Every structure is written in C-alpha cells, then in structure tokens.
Amino acid sequence: MLGHMTPTRADVAAMIDHTLLAPEATPAEVEALIAEARRLGVYAICVSPSMLPVRAPGLVVATVAGFPSGKHHSLVKGAEARLAVDQGAAEVDMVIDVGAALAGDFNAVLTDVITVREAVDDRAVLKVIIESAALTDDAIVGACRAAEQGGADFVKTSTGFHPAGGASAHAVRLMAETVGGRLGVKASGGIRTAADAAAMIEAGATRLGLSKSAAVLDGFAE
C-alpha cells in the first residue's frame, strides 16, 4: 500500500492485472492484451481459463474460477483452478457463492475457499472474489474472514459482471481493515479513471483489476 503518497504511473502499473474476461474474447484479442500489457508495464494479465495456455514472457498470468456467478460446486471450482495452473496460470481469482455469504453461511464460503486452495496447493496465488457490491458490510467482513481462514492470498471486490456494481472505496477500506495487511486487497469492477484508481489505492487496495489500464495510467504522472 502506498499510503498517502501520490502514486506514480509506474507505481500503479505495478499493481495492475490487465484483464480480458469478456465472453466474446478471441485469441487475437488475448494476443493484443498481452502486447498492450507489455507496452504499459503492468504486473499481470488476467484471461478466461479457456484461453489458456498463453505465451506472455515477463508477465504474470492470472485466470478465474467459478466465474462470474460463483454458483459452481466447490469441486468444480477446484478442478477448474487446478487445470488452469497446470496450463500455466500463476494466479487464480475464484468467485465465492455470494448467496451463501448473504445468508450468513460462512462455513460454506470457507469450504469453497479451502477446496480451491487445496486444489492448487502452493503453486498459485489465490484471490477470493466476494462480490462486495452485493453484500452487506457484515457479510463483507464474514467473507473476508472465511477467505483468510481458508488460505487465500488476496480478497477481491468484484467480478465486474454483477448488476449490483463493482468496486467501491468503502468496500475496499472495510476489506483492508478486516484482513489487516495479512492478505492483499484487489479492487476490480468499474475502475475506469485515474481518480477511481487513486481512490481505491487510498482506501487500501494493493492490486487493481482493470480492462481500461491505458486510460487509467494516462492520468498518473511519470
């Protein structure tokens, strides 16, 4: 976390997962994503598991599991994550069962996270998407605690596909307070400007999921 210092373009680029998860994405668009990621100097690319494997030397390759609804059996999420790692993914962003979190069934959330964690073992960074815009504050806290207990490396706000919306500074701050620096916090969903990104970083985000990375980075000084 960069604290109250104004982040530079390079600071922000080093936090970005440059993302292409559109259902209609083509292999050519993934290649364009990789080329743009290299040009921008971002940390990682994030693509759908069906697009793996990809050649992206110098970039971390991330993918998703149980995306975007989270309404997949835990074993299916685990198998999807394991296959993705076998195909070269170094990070997996899994979606919890949002309904379980809303119902207060955090044991179900915990089981979900543990299943995926065990499936990938220590071969991948695990980020847990809680779909914060769809949750109450109490459910956000409970989901983050379950993610930490289950062995996650990050908690993440959003898929970017939920009608309730994406990241908010309020949710990021609450998530950061809950995990207390023990886990990373990834803000994603609806971050389209430098002002949006700066607000998330100020609130405690340590990673950003962006599809409009160039436009965001253009708003930061070198």
Q: Residue 161 — φ and ψ, nearest 5°?
A: -115, -5
Average pLDDT over residues 3-19: 90
**Which pLDDT score, from 0 to 100, does residue 128 have?**
99
**Which pLDDT score, from 0 to 100, does residue 2 have?**
55
66: left (phi over 0), alpha (psi -120 to 50) or beta: left
pTM of the full structure: 0.97
Given a cut of 50, whether residue 26 has pLDDT beyond it is: yes
**Which pLDDT score, from 0 to 100, does residue 6 have?**
84
Q: What is the share, in percent, of the chain residues with pLDDT greater than 70?
A: 98
Average pLDDT over residues 118-141: 98
Q: Are strands 60-65 and 44-47 parallel, antiparallel or unpaired?
A: parallel
Average pLDDT over residues 149-156: 98
Per the CB < 8 A criterion, the answer to whether 191 and 166 are in contact is yes
Q: Which tens digit of pLDDT belongs to each residue from 58-113? A: 999 999 999 999 999 999 999 999 999 999 999 999 999 999 999 999 999 999 99
> How far apart, in whole angstroms, are the C-alpha atoms of residue 57 and residue 5?
31
> How far apart, in whole angstroms, are the C-alpha atoms of residue 43 and residue 203?
20
Nearest to 116 by CA among 143, 80, 88: 80
Indicate the DSSP class of residue 172: H
Q: Which tens digit of pLDDT belongs to each residue from 161-210? A: 999 999 999 999 999 999 999 999 999 999 999 999 999 999 999 999 99
> How far apart, in whole angstroms, are the C-alpha atoms of residue 172 and residue 161?
18
- Which residues sit opposite 19 in a β-bridge? 46
Q: What is the mean pLDDT of the chain?
A: 97
Give the residue numbers annotated as catalytic, written as ranges: 93, 156, 186
**Which pLDDT score, from 0 to 100, does residue 5 have?**
74
Question: In sequence order, which residues have a C-beta less than 8 Å from that of residue 3 and are 6 or more positions away?
Answer: none
**Which pLDDT score, from 0 to 100, does residue 202 have?**
98
The band of 4, judged by pLDDT with boundaries at 50, 70 and 90, is: low
> How far apart, in whole angstroms, are the C-alpha atoms of residue 111 and residue 163?
26
> How far apart, in whole angstroms, are the C-alpha atoms of residue 5 and residue 58?
28
Indicate the DSSP class of residue 128: E
